[in-house]
Structure 1
Amino acid sequence: MVDPNFIEVNEITGYWSFLASIDWNDPWLIALIAVHVLTTVTTLMTRNNTNFQIFLFLILLSAAYCSESINEFAAAKWKSFSKQQYFDSNGLFISTVFSIPILLNCMLIIGAWMYNSLQIMVTLKRAQLLQQVKRNKQEKNSEPTKEVKSDHEKSD
């Protein structure tokens, strides 16, 4: 018996029809989405912990790098965890559900690093300007006061 929600490969004409053909109720896909949500929450919660974010960034990039191998393994073992064979040789499915969310998290981490760097640069520049103002005040106070003669005194 054929599943009524089953879409033939030749019926997929674009990316949106491809996304519509995915059975998002498959338990392993729900778990994968939960992992991506958890990763994003972890990324946001640890945005001020640079050491942890470096570790997370490297783990995420390693996972994205291994996506081709993961795709090949999943293509060979799909019957043990999935209702349908999604893992094509081009890697469209693994890129969509695995690599893109990972790379978006990496971009979020880089954005947090850039924001933190900007905040540090602003703080540093403010401190430099305050120190320069103090130095200028000290130089003004330490200079001997020059008496300016008025026009009447010059003519005398």
Structure 2
Amino acid sequence: RGPPVTMDQLWNITQEALHWLIADTQEGLVEFTDWLDGAMNTTGHLYGNITAAMRDESASIIPAVRGFMEAVDWTEPLLMGILAFHAFFISFSIVVCYKGNEVLQFSLLCFMVMLVMAAQPINTYLANNWETVATQPYFDKNGSFISAVFSGPLLCVGFMFLVSLLVGNVRMLKKTVVMKAKGKGQGKQEGEQSKEKKESKKTK
């Protein structure tokens, strides 16, 4: 066995270990702060690039929408008819969703899907015979105009129907769970009452 370790030697070893631990911790903190600064700078640059892109995109979309609204003659009978149809259909759809008639909602959703699917052949016909229905060739081969004027609002209404049907199903599921819980509670109460009656009869 070697010589025993004195208190002074143990104290020196402890001091050296503490100094090494403090130095290593400080070095790790410096490295972490450097990494955090770099990450924050990178995130800041990324956020700045995203916001700049969104500003550029919004700046390019707003003039395009404004130019589209100004280029279209909304007083033409065909466009006025489409707008009137959308006004009636959207109003009727809101009433149906408010009433919560799921069968009628599903029927209107199927009808809307049929109209959206029929938009392409309708656009082809109107693109070839635009002189008979409008003063300008609005209906292009790609279907951009009819998608914005006819299909787009219908898809928004369809999304509203889907949300309404989902909410209705969730409410129905909640009612079913509550009714099952009440049924189980009533069954337990009836069982306890029957047990009490049997015990009272036995005591008599």
Q: Higher helix fraction: Structure 1 or Structure 2?
A: 2
**Count of residues in correspondence between the two structures:** 133
Question: Which residue, 128, 131, 141 being the options, matches 1:89?
Answer: 141
Structure 1: where are the runs of 5+ without partners? 1-12, 146-156
Offset of residue 139 of structure 1: 2.9
Q: Which residue of 2 aligns with 1:142?
A: 194
Give a deviation string over 1:80-137, Cα, whole Å, max 9, x none. 1212111112211010001011111111211221122122112111111111111222
Question: Which residue, 155, 163, 178 being the options, matches 1:103?
Answer: 155
Give a deviation string over 1:29-60, Cα, whole Å, max 9, x none. 11101101111122122233333333222121
Question: Which residue, 67, 71, 74 being the options, matches 1:17?
Answer: 67
Residue 142 of structure 2 aligns to a residue whose secondary structure is: coil
Residue 138 of structure 2 aligns to a residue whose secondary structure is: coil
Structure 2: where are the runs of 5+ without partners? 1-62, 200-204
Question: Which residue, 72, 79, 103 being the options, matches 2:131?
Answer: 79
Q: Which residue of 2 aligns with 1:130?
A: 182
Larger radius of gyration: 2
Q: Which residue of 2 aligns with 1:120?
A: 172
Give a deviation string over 1:59-80, Cα, whole Å, max 9, x none. 2111101211111101111111
Partners of 1:16 and 1:115 in 2: CA distance? 36
Residue 123 of structure 2 aligns to a residue whose secondary structure is: helix
Residue 88 of structure 1 aligns to a residue whose secondary structure is: coil
Partners of 1:23 and 1:128 in 2: CA distance? 59
Q: Which residue of 1 aligns with 2:7?
A: none
Structure 1 window deviating more from structure 2 (47-56 vs 58-67): it is: 47-56
Percent sequence identity is 22
Partners of 2:70 and 2:185 in 1: CA distance? 63
Detail structure 1 runs of 4+ shifted over 4 Å in the superposition: none
- Aligned CA RMSD, in angstroms, stands at 1.9
Q: Which residue of 2 aligns with 1:68?
A: 120
TM-score, with length taken from structure 1: 0.75
Question: Which residue, 54, 79, 88 being the options, matches 1:29?
Answer: 79
